[in-house]
Amino acid sequence: MQFHTQAVHAGDRKKPRPEVPVTTPIHTAASYFCESMEQLDRIFGHEEQGFCYARYDSPSAAALEDLVSTLECGHGALACASGMAAIHVAVLTALADRRRSVVAANALYGATVGMLMNVLEPSGVAVRFMDVWDLDALRAVVAEAKPGCLLVETVSNPLLRVAQIDRLAEISHEAGAALVVDNTFATPLMVRPQELGANLTVHSLTKYLAGHGDVLGGVVVSDNQHYEPLRALSRTVGPVLGPFECYLTMRGIKTFPLRMERQCVNACRVASWLASHPKVERVYFPGHPAHPDAVAIRRLFPQNLFGAMVSFEVRGAGRDEVFRFMNALKLVVRATSLGDVHSMMLYPVMSSHREISPKQRERMGIRDNLVRLSVGIEAVEDIIADLELALEV
Ligand SMILES: Cc1ncc(COP(=O)(O)O)c(C=O)c1O
């Protein structure tokens, strides 16, 4: 071989050695070489397991999918480039071969509402928002409308309502609809929607699972029935997660249970401290004894871990006072996102629910004095001291 040819080929496509690396390496190849065309044909035809093209499947994604599917008790999973990409493909999968209509909870992440109203509705999908805590009314509407999909969050963003996933599964299955659950806030440490009858469970991996603020990703965990349609859709539209993000997410998940336990314990302390602070009008936290979904919480969160999100209203505050309070924070990071090792605070009216009209926000109960705190793994005394000083400003 000549020098220029060697530069292109030497060292590549070596047969794997028998030793196995202890953690999954980052596989950057876009396509895969087979010994023969016959074998490649079998892989393309799904008669033999194997990799041929990274948009279809790749070793890095497969390892992460295996991991998350195991934690969520699913049949299989699809790693996606963001949480929103995951929600989009999950809903499209649920709607394939069913009626093109969605019943969605009236308490959802703002971009999910935007995706339903600005992407799916204009493409001919009927979307109806409902109070999914009024089970009788929901059952009646779902039985009559027979939607293809019921979409909810286990713990809603940002008011932290807790959905009765098992009851919602009964209601949707009676009507032939698929139940899609965004489990980002609850995480599989506390709740595994597949065990409660969900068909497709979605996560923004960006949050607790990756956990360090350095990955954007999502995942759909599927039951047996929807797994092949989900993969077929993904092969066509290609929402897949890149190998570096797969690696970082797997690395993050190794410490996810430890981080999450600590964050939950910290959140309980922070929530009860906030509840007794005179400048705090109202606290939203699933561990709060007066939470409206206490029955669901007792059933879904049996270990006294209630998640690590705490939302609260600053007494008498408008946008200016909230800005002053948040500008005074020294430790808690003022930034969009949640679930990282560091505590973070977000102003929903300005960010997560910005695209939602003030009228609809009011209907959703998201007021101008509401802030959302994602409690991190720091020493809880330091988090509380930071909040205390900022509330005094
Ligand atoms: C509950 C929930 N689901 C989905 C998403 C979207 O995730 P991503 O930003 O990774 O697309 C978010 C983002 O904040 C979220 O809070």
C-alpha 134 to ligand 1 mean position (Å): 25
What is the rounded distance in angstroms from the CA atom of residue 94 to the CA atom of residue 120?
A: 13
Phi, psi (degrees; rounded to nearest 5) at 168: -65, -35
Q: At 109, which amino acid appears?
A: Y
pLDDT recorded at residue 45: 93
Q: Is residue 57 flagged as an active site residue? A: no
153 lines ligand 1 (CB under 6 A): yes
Specify the DSSP element, H or E, that contains 204: strand 200-204
Counted residue by residue, the chain has a size of 393
What is the rounded distance in angstroms from the CA atom of residue 86 to the CA atom of residue 84?
A: 5
Q: Please check whether residue 194 is in contact with residue 201, taking contact to mean a CB–CB distance below 8 angstroms.
A: yes
pLDDT recorded at residue 161: 97
Q: Is residue 55 flagged as an active site residue? A: yes
Give residue 372's Cα distance to chain centre: 16
Q: Which residue has the tokens 């990756």?
A: 210
Q: Is residue 207 flagged as an active site residue? A: yes
245 lines ligand 1 (CB under 6 A): no
Q: What is the pLDDT of residues 278-331, one digit of tens each?
A: 999 999 999 998 899 998 999 888 788 999 999 999 999 999 999 999 999 999
C-alpha 367 to ligand 1 mean position (Å): 20
What is the rounded distance in angstroms from the CA atom of residue 266 to the CA atom of residue 371?
A: 18
Q: Is residue 182 flagged as an active site residue? A: yes
Q: What integer best gives the mean pLDDT of the chain?
A: 96
182 lines ligand 1 (CB under 6 A): yes
Question: What's the DSSP call for residue 351?
Answer: T
What is the rounded distance in angstroms from the CA atom of residue 246 to the CA atom of residue 122?
A: 33
218 lines ligand 1 (CB under 6 A): yes
164 lines ligand 1 (CB under 6 A): no
Phi, psi (degrees; rounded to nearest 5) at 224: -60, -45
pTM of the model: 0.96
Give how far Cα 202 sits from Cα of 15, 89, 193, 387, Å.
Answer: 36, 10, 10, 32
pLDDT recorded at residue 356: 85
- 391: tokens are 């509330």
- 217: tokens are 């990703």
97 pLDDT exceeds 90?
Answer: no
Q: What is the pLDDT of residues 46-81, one digit of tens each?
A: 999 999 999 999 999 999 999 999 999 999 999 999
